[in-house]
Structure 1
């Protein structure tokens, strides 16, 4: 199997996983931010500047980044850290079933 066929299979697998998790309804910007938050989290809240500088999100413009971040909060995928209204965010794992 060629490296191109493997890449195609991986993409199909990722799309299937995104559909199973409900991520398929998100824009590409929202997915990039969500994946960055999940990658960075490690048990503690993440500052928006770290999310913005992540390799998955560093190419997003500031307005696109902030619009998508706000959208993810309103959709319940991520939340503000308790006691804060901006700056620190967490992935809301409890909202997803992973079997």
Structure 2
């Protein structure tokens, strides 16, 4: 099997998985910020700092203004929420794929 075919098959499988849990409804920036936040969370319900998300390799290529608009968008959709009892710029991932 050639390398390009392997890449296609992996991308197709990823696309199907994203569609199955509803990530396909998000913009690429929203998806990458949400996935980065989730990857940086130590446990379900644990808070992650905005600066940590911003430095994740999935998010580094996103312009600063786009990043902040994306955070606001994810907050308004309820996929992220501000961490209770903590300062601003701390977020909790609230995405539940089983609810999709």
C-alpha offsets along residues 43-83 of structure 1, whole Å, 9 cap, x if unaligned? 23110011001000011111100001110111111111113
Worse-matched range after superposition: 84-93 or 66-75 = 84-93
Q: Which residue in the other structure is 1:5 paired with? A: 5
Gaps of 5+ in 2: none
CA distance in 2, matches of 1:85, 1:30: 23
Task: Give the SS at the match of 2:98.
Answer: coil
C-alpha offsets along residues 2-37 of structure 1, whole Å, 9 cap, x if unaligned? 221111111111111111111111111101101101
Q: Which residue in the other structure is 1:96 paired with? A: 97
TM-score by structure 2 length?
0.88
C-alpha root-mean-square deviation of aligned residues, in Å?
Answer: 1.6
Q: CA deviation at 1:84?
A: 4.3
Q: Which residue in the other structure is 1:87 paired with? A: 89
Q: Which residue in the other structure is 1:67 paired with? A: 69
Q: Structure 1 residue runs of 4+, over 6 Å off?
A: none
CA distance in 2, matches of 1:6, 1:28: 22
Gaps of 5+ in 1: none
Worse-matched range after superposition: 80-89 or 57-66 = 80-89
- Provide the aligned length of Structure 1 versus Structure 2: 97
